[in-house]
Structure 1
Amino acid sequence: MAKDGSESAFITKLSAISGKLMGNKFIVSIRDAFGAALPLSIIASFFVLINNLLLDPKIGVLKNIPGHQFITNVGIQAYNGTLGMMGLLVTFLIGYFLGKQLGSDGVLDGVISVAALVTLIPNIITVTSNSGKAFKASAVLTQSQTSAEGMFLGIFASIVATELLEKISKNKKLKISMPDSVPPAIANSFNGLIPALIVVALFGIFEETVVALSGSNVPDLIIKVLQAPLVGGFQNYFGITLYGFLTCLLFAFGIHGSSVLGAVSSPILLTAFQQNMSAVQANKPAPNIVTQPYVDCYIYITMFSLVIAILIASHKKNYRSIAKLGAVPAIFNIGEPLLFGLPIVFNPILAIPYVVVPIFSSTLAYFATAFGLVAKTYVVVPWVTPAVLSGFLATGGDWRASVLQIVIITVGVFVYLPFVYAANRIKDDLD
């Protein structure tokens, strides 16, 4: 009885912590912003896939078609307008969603968030020409600053700017009253004019103070202090394996692990993905093993392993029925029918392998990629894309990634089988 009580207390506490995280205004805003911007990643990946799989001058199957260079240039421009601007767009969206949570319409918050981000970017940068000569350029935004590579600076700028703007805006003395005949959108902009001016000025003062005191600029400091360690932590085998384990552990307790941890992982994994895609675009080796496509294509594809294990070994009619119903969703990486139907949630006999399988899948995927047995992922594919196809697409057409996915699913079957056999010995009312 004491054991049951302690387990109940643990689950209650874990649920409470997860609930607070999922309800946190900053995490919710970041999650919603990335959700709204996700189509841009998929659009960019579509054009990158065409350029590198079909139109590549060395291996592209359509490299000699008429107008191939025109099509290639269209893809480059589309990439620049989508993923190349991802950092700016997510900055606006975080400010927008956070502003709405704080009671405003969110539009001015998003606009000032972008203004704050650009205010933190150095006015003069060093640019290297194609000939290798370095020179100074002013009033320039580079893609490393506007794309997902500058995401962490955008998150910082949007959260701080929106919080400041909303707090300063509460001071009625700083509002400019407009006649009733003025359209609401214009009136709201003038109401927030002085608070917005103060916020942008504060960011400008902060940027110049950092440069004067440290000799470095804010983006470089963010990269050194925050972005590089976080991205590096996920590129570490133990870091990504622990992430997969914790996500599934939360699911095993009925908590949506991806939602709880996604707001933290998404900027990190998207930054790594952007670095890979930018490198491939420049005909350079992709630097990162772990990206969002890597996680989607390798770590979370093993629900179908459970379906196969049940159909092979289970004598329980309810297990077999639910496995058949959940087979098609599992092919598309939708696990809820199995999670709550068998169930896996709060069911130790199946929760244990469910939490352990990502360790095996992460191990296989990480070292296969690290040793060059499969190409690194640099194309975003929808997470519902079936295994075998998703690996092929995410790596830009590497068939070995598809083979790796088959191996991962097969290993998952062998991990689940002993537990399915054990479940046969447990009687329940549905047998």
Structure 2
Amino acid sequence: MNRLLDFLQKRIVPMANKFQQIPFIIVLRNSMLAIIPLMIVGAIGTFVTNMPFPWLNTLLEPVKPFFNALTLTTSNISGLVVALVIGFNTARHFKLDPICGIIISLAAFFAATLTDEGAFNTEVFGANGIFTAILVGYLSVCIMHLCKKYNIEIKLPDSVPTNVSASFSTILSLAISLAIFLFIRNGLGIDINSVVTTIFSPMVNILNSLPGLMLLSFCMSLFFSIGINPIVFIGMLIPILTINGQLNAQAIANGKIPGELVTWGMETIMCLGGTGATIGLALLLTQSKSQVFKKLGRMGLAPSLFNINEPIVYGVPVIFNPIIIIPFIITPLVNIASTWFLMSNNVIGRAFIDIPWTTPPIINGFLMSGGDWRTTIWTGILVLVSVAIYYPFFKIAEKQQLIIETTERKD
């Protein structure tokens, strides 16, 4: 294990750090995290309109039009919002005017997704257009960046106000972007959204499978265990989680069983207590014989209930700890595989409501499944599973810590 950790530190960490610094990855991560509040608000509408209790459904009937509208005006415009956020973050990354970035990104997105008749295609305003919004939005602002770099812009005298000058300087880059995407879409007749969807489909298909999700979880835990924050992986997964959540919500609305298992609900199960599903470790720390571990557990338990485990990861530490890394990788894999099996066989209710990644255990099971009692109980069982997997490894680490504390007291 120590040789493996040395190899990862010397070979993989530098490569991973370089990967995290790729402009597109930075923009994608920041942009996808920014749309989470939109998804959460939309999920409230889905939850209220699909209550599992008939008497409550009847009681809420008068307010259902409001909550249907809430979903319509949030989740169903996710493609448009991504185009806005991508434009903003890409422009900010290249130190350009963010407002101009938003305008160019949104205009390019509209141009790239027109119908064959040249009308707006409202079908891509939601989840169906997210990948196109990401790619087109980023490329259009990159064109703006290149125009700025090579002085392909309209320059006004210094006496002109800055905001007016900035607007005029983007005219040529906007025209170039629109010309390119309009020519491809309407001049050549290429359905850009379909092409982009096809390009991303292998990644989507992999991550939408049990092996793919388990591989992602393995990478998240492994990279975090060597000090690399796994947020970059979540940034890549968010578009898929968002699309699947909307597909499942539509299935429920049509009286069908949700078909997608890779959802925000599954993400909270994968990261029960944080990356590495460390809720069990947090609970064990609070009962430790080691005073250091006990204090750490009491300090880290509250954040862990909301799936924030940095105090524990850096405090135990988990990083470069060959003992704790083992359950840190295994526990989320067990959570995913067992939950996937139960949901796919309809033993427990499937997740169809997008919930925040900070949703505590047990509550996440209730919310993600629209109040299904089986899923609620199952997430409680997974907390005990986490305790059981971490227990033998925790006792080894505790024994080592007690020796350190005893030695320090003698000195």
Q: What's the TM-score, normalizing by structure 1?
A: 0.86
Unmatched segments (≥5 aa) in structure 1: 126-137
Q: C-alpha distance in 1, partners of 2:2/2:348? A: 46
Return the offset for 1:9: 5.3
Return closer, same or farther for 1:297/1:420 CA change in 2, 3 Å cut-off. Answer: closer
The alignment-based identity, stated in percent, is: 23
Partner of residue 393, structure 2? 419
The reply to whether residue 343 of structure 1 matches residue 317 of structure 2 is yes
User: Which residue of 116, 121, 138 maps to 2:108?
Assistant: 116
- Look up the match of 1:43: 41
* Change beyond 3 A, Cα 1:5–1:393: closer
Rounded to whole Å, the distance in 1 between the matches of 2:84 and 2:372 is 36
Q: Which residue of 2 aligns with 1:162?
A: 141
Give distance in 2, aligned partners of 1:210 and 1:236.
35
Counterpart-to-counterpart distance in 1, 2:10 and 2:242 = 32
Name the CA distance, whole Å, in 1 between partners of 2:316 and 2:2: 22
- Please state how far the C-alpha of 1:243 moved relative to its aligned partner: 1.0
Q: How big is the shift at 1:405? A: 0.8
Q: Which moved more, 1:376-385 or 1:79-88?
A: 376-385
TM-score (norm: length of structure 2) = 0.90
Give how far 1:376 is off: 2.0
Given that 1:28 and 1:263 are in contact with CA atoms closer than 8 Å, whether structure 2 keeps it comes out as no
One of 396, 404, 411 as aligned partner of 1:429: 404
Give the distance between the partners of 1:6 and 1:249, measured in 2 at CA: 11
- Structure 2: distance between partners of 1:233 and 1:22: 21
Q: How does 1:326-405 map to 2 (within 5 A)?
A: 326-405=300-379
Contact 1:52 1:60 survives alignment (8 Å): no
* Aligned partner (choices 72, 75, 93) of residue 83 of structure 1: 75
Matched, 1:305 2:280: yes
Q: Which residue of 2 aligns with 1:139?
A: 119
Instruction: Tell me which residue corresponds to 2:22.
Output: 24
Alignment of 1:269-284 (within 5 A): 269-284=241-256
Deviation at 1:357, TM superposition (A): 0.6
Counterpart position of 2:56: 61
Q: 1:33 to 1:177 in 2, by over 3 A?
A: same
Residue 5 of structure 1 deviates from its aligned partner by: 8.1
**Amino acid of the structure 1 residue aligned with 2:71:** Y
Structure 2: distance between partners of 1:241 and 1:170: 43
- Determine the structure 1 residue equivalent to 2:211: 238
Residue 146 of structure 1, CA deviation: 0.8
Which residue matches 2:174?
A: 196
Question: Secondary structure, in 3 states, of the residue corresponding to 2:219?
Answer: helix
Find the partner of 1:93 among 81, 85, 92.
85
Q: Is the 8 A contact 1:392 1:401 kept in 2?
A: yes
The answer for the alignment partner of 2:66 in structure 1 is 74
Q: CA RMSD in A?
A: 2.4
Deviation at 1:81, TM superposition (A): 1.6
C-alpha separation between the residues in 1 aligned to 2:127 and 2:48?
21
Q: Which residue of 2 aligns with 1:410?
A: 384
Aligned length: 402
**Quick one: distance in 2 between partners of 1:279 and 1:86?**
18
Distance 1:150 1:280 in 2: 21
| Structure 1 residues 9 and 422: alpha-carbon distance in aligned structure 2, compared to 1, 3 A threshold | closer
**Structure 2 residue runs without a partner (length 5+):** 407-411
